[in-house]
Amino acid sequence: MRHEFLDRYSRLESSIHRLPAMLKLFTATILVITTMTVPANHAWVFITIAIILVSTGFASRIPWRFTIGRLFMLEPFALGIAVMALLQHNGIDVFLAILIKSTLCLLTMILASNVTPFSEVLETLRRLRIPSLLITILALAYRYLFVLIVEGDRLQRARRSRTFTAGRAKKWISLSSLIGQMFVRSSERAERIFAAMTSRGWK
């Protein structure tokens, strides 16, 4: 089974994919910072950023279906906060500002993570002298996210294959035990990974 939910297109072939990772990471950071700090009345800044992002999106050959889908998946987290703004005086302006800014930031990150393989991101961070412990943690998190998802899928399938009544309460109870199981399994796996690391000289 292949899981590529995070960065499915990060290994495509395109002019954008071929650019050095350092440049892409740097540009993405600048775009996010600019989007966040420029006051909302400077519309031309946001229009420029949007044009940059859209042309990057086309040049990278990442299907727009995927990008937009990802955007819809992530946007509710930002909008959840933005909705609160509607309750106050002049709230609609604040709401729109947050909507535009969050969309641009998310779009930047979705594109950035899908035009750069994660191993190259880590390599860049290493060259920027980010502490190696932090990089190791990021690398492990990325690596085991996939293992965890596959394991969660397996547990859920096993649970479904023996679920005969569809009572909602029962479902929730078994879901909570599934989450507990995942937790126990992950901590046991963490110990085995640590053993594997020490047996190859990690100190």
Partner 1 sequence: MNKAIEVKGLRYAYPDGQEALRGISFTVSEGECVGLVGPNGSGKSTLLLHLNGILPDSIDDSTAVSIHGNPVSNRTISVIRREVGLLFQDPDDQLFCPTVYEDVAFGPQQFGFAEDKIRSIVAQALSQTGLAGFEQRPPHHLSIGEKRRVCLAGVLACEPKVLALDEPTSNLDPRGKRNLHEILRSLPVTKVIATHDLEMVVELCPRTIVLDNGSIVADGPTAELLGNEELMLKHGLEKPHILRHHHPH
> Binding residues for partner 1, per CB under 8 A?
2-3, 117-119, 122, 139-140, 142-144, 146-147, 189, 192-193, 195-203
Q: How far is the CB of 117 from partner 1 (least distance, A)?
A: 8
Residue 122: CB minimum distance to partner 1, A = 6
C-beta closer to partner 1: residue 47 or 130: 130
Nearer to partner 1, 65 or 203 (CB): 203
- CB of residue 189 to partner 1, shortest distance in Å: 6
| Residue nearer to partner 1 on the CB measure, 160 or 200 | 200
100-113: burial string, b at 16+ Cβ within 10 Å, e else: bbbbbbbbbebbbb
Q: Measured from the CB of residue 132, what is the shortest distance to partner 1 in angstroms?
A: 10
Residue number with CB closer to partner 1 (89 or 157): 157
Give residue 151's identity as a one-letter amino acid code: E
Q: Where are the alpha helices (DSSP H) in the chain?
A: 15-18, 21-37, 43-60, 64-85, 91-115, 118-127, 132-160, 168-198
Reading the block at residue 198, the tokens are 């020490």
Considering the complex, what minimum distance in angstroms separates the CB of residue 192 from partner 1?
4
50/149 with CB nearer partner 1: 149
Long-range contact set of residues 145-151: C-beta below 8 Å, sequence gap at least 24: 145/6, 146/3, 147/189, 148/182, 148/186, 149/3, 149/5, 150/1, 150/3, 151/182, 151/185
